[in-house]
């Protein structure tokens, strides 16, 4: 790990301004992903801005009937919140499937959204990776690709986003709130928050330099039966091969978001019109543009079967 300087931010705007002024700076809260990357020198920030003392750790009702979740709310606390468990159960289930208890105790809401891919070539600094070093190439395209993307990928990158929480947030139509270096705030619908790789896979979100996440808001509850299915190589803590978040209403309508298949949570609202017809019809639209390798083609069948199981559960 390389040497770095450190400071504790006093306000969100101050933290954002410092990060904008120092391009090699990084925010740190739980550090469950950043510190690992620093040890491997995948990330080598010259300056760390500790945001743990900022008052961003509350879960509060919004005037519109939803919830405002502070950026520093720990995953354990969010999953256990009575309002989340009763009205946003898909979020609680996704969080509980997302990591070990020890990690959930430290990991934050904002950090969960911003965690980096677990593509093995991103972590292997001896291999080319456009996400780690732009322009170097993508080793996964001709290498081991079992865990990689089947949707939204490009010739520059086929990595997936690892967050379970983000998939549930996409199903809930969440909004990410930020503060910019000039103190201005902006809301970003989570549908617009993540970028597909294109030619710039190292740019993973629409956040500007120094922009700090302060909260995530979810709209008022939509009711229905919530489920989060995660398929992984082992039952203990592991990242998803695929995951399916569903919210199903009594009339069979609802919402579907997928994880483990793209560089962002994957949801196509037009596909949800097919939900009363069943999983096959929904999957056909969700997976219409899929591009697979010989090693990850199985993910298509896995999505169809997992979605079918989730809808069957919702129908009792």
* Beta strands 67-70 and 5-8, pairing class: unpaired
Task: Give the other-Cβ count within 10 Å of 79's Cβ.
Answer: 19
What does the pLDDT profile of the chain (316 residues) look like in tens digits?
789 999 999 999 999 999 999 989 999 999 999 999 999 999 999 999 999 999 999 999 999 999 999 999 999 999 999 999 999 999 999 999 988 889 999 999 999 999 999 999 999 999 999 999 999 999 999 999 999 999 999 999 999 999 999 999 999 999 999 999 999 999 999 999 999 999 999 999 999 999 999 999 999 999 999 999 999 998 877 899 999 999 999 999 999 999 999 999 999 999 999 999 999 999 999 999 999 999 999 999 999 999 999 999 988 7
Token pair of 291, please?
A: 């591009």
Tell me if residue 259 falls in helix, strand or coil.
Answer: strand
Q: CA-CA-CA-CA torsion for 17, 19, 22, 27, nearest 10 degrees?
A: 150
CA of residue 309 relative to chain centroid, distance: 23
CB 188 within 8 A of CB 113: no
Task: Give the other-Cβ count within 10 Å of 267's Cβ.
Answer: 19
Give 234-273 pLDDT, tens digit per residue: 887 789 999 999 999 999 999 999 999 999 999 999 999 9
Tell me if residue 109 falls in helix, strand or coil.
Answer: helix
Token pair of 163, please?
A: 């967050």
Q: Where are the alpha helices (DSSP H) in the chain?
A: 12-21, 34-39, 75-80, 82-87, 89-98, 101-106, 109-114, 120-123, 165-171, 190-193, 279-286, 298-314
CA 229, 294, 170, 183 dihedral sign is positive
Q: Could you tell me which residues come within 8 angstroms of residue 134 by beta carbon, excluding any fewer than 6 positions away?
A: 200, 201, 202
Separation CA 174–CA 193 (nearest Å): 10
Separation CA 38–CA 222 (nearest Å): 41
Radius of gyration of the chain, Cα coordinates, nearest whole angstrom: 19
CA of residue 93 relative to chain centroid, distance: 14
Terminal CA-CA length for the chain = 52
Separation CA 250–CA 225 (nearest Å): 8
CB 57 within 8 A of CB 72: yes
Tell me if residue 294 falls in helix, strand or coil.
Answer: coil
Is pTM, for the whole model, over 0.85? Answer: yes
Separation CA 283–CA 303 (nearest Å): 7
């Amino acid at each position: 790990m390389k040497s770095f300087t450190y400071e504790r931010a006093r306000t969100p705007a101050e933290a954002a301004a410092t990060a904008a002024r120092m391009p090699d700076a990084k925010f740190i809260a739980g550090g469950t992903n950043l510190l690992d990357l620093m040890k491997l020198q995948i990330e080598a920030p010259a300056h760390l801005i500790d945001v743990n003392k900022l008052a961003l750790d509350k879960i509060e009702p919004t005037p519109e009937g939803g919830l405002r979740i502070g950026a520093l709310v720990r995953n354990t606390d969010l999953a256990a919140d009575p309002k989340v468990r009763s009205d946003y159960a898909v979020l609680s289930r996704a969080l509980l499937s997302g990591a070990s208890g020890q990690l959930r105790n430290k990991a934050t809401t904002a950090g969960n959204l911003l965690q980096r891919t677990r593509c093995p070539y991103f972590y292997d600094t001896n291999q080319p990776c456009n996400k780690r070093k732009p322009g170097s190439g993508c080793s996964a395209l001709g290498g081991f690709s079992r865990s990689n993307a089947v949707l939204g990928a490009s010739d520059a990158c086929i990595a997936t986003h690892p967050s379970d929480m983000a998939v549930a947030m996409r199903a809930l139509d969440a909004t990410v709130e930020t503060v910019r270096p000039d103190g201005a705030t902006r809301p970003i619908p989570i549908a617009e928050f993540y970028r597909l790789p294109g030619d710039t896979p190292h740019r993973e979100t629409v956040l500007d330099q120094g922009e700090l996440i302060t909260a995530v808001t979810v709209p008022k509850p939509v009711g229905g039966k919530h489920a989060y299915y995660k398929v992984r190589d082992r039952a203990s803590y592991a990242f998803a091969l695929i995951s399916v978040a569903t919210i199903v209403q009594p009339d069979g309508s609802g919402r579907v978001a997928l994880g483990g298949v793209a560089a962002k949570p994957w949801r196509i609202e037009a596909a949800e019109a097919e939900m009363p017809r069943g999983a096959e019809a929904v999957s056909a639209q969700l997976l219409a543009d899929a591009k697979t390798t010989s090693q990850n083609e199985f993910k298509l069948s896995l999505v169809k079967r997992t979605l079918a199981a989730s809808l069957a559960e919702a129908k009792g």
